[in-house]
């Protein structure tokens, strides 16, 4: 017997976007991030944007864009944050 849970695709995008955002917030609070964690944070921010875009919710898209900007600014790459 399987313990699988089936969700509509839109709900899956919501779950994935939230998980990405949660991970970014954990990494942003961490004082000493490794280079791998920097990469993970940026990748998670763009993944969150993808999932929010697929949901089509404009406020979620704005939040994901903020996460990208905040992630880049925490890496002292402000120029990338504003692109």
- Predicted pLDDT of residue 20: 97
In a domain, 52, yes or no: yes
Q: Which two tokens stand for residue 29?
A: 């609070």
Higher-confidence residue of 47 and 2: namely 47
* CB-neighbour burial class of residue 46 (10 A; exposed 0-12, middle 13-18, buried 19+): middle
- Can you give the residue range of the structural domain that contains 60? 9-75
In a domain, 61, yes or no: yes
**pLDDT, tens only, 27-40:** 999 989 999 999 99
Only one residue has tokens 């692109």, namely: 83
Mean pLDDT across 36-53: 96
Q: How many domains does the chain have?
A: 1
In a domain, 3, yes or no: no
Q: Give the percent of the chain with pLDDT over 90.
A: 69
């Amino acid at each position: 017997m399987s313990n699988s849970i089936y969700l509509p695709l839109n709900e899956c995008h919501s779950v994935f976007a939230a998980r990405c955002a949660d991970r970014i917030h954990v990494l942003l609070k961490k004082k000493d991030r490794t280079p791998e964690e920097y990469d993970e944070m940026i990748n998670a921010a763009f993944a969150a944007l993808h999932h929010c875009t697929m949901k089509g919710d404009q406020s979620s898209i704005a939040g994901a864009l903020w996460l990208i900007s905040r992630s880049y600014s925490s890496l002292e790459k402000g120029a990338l944050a504003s692109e």
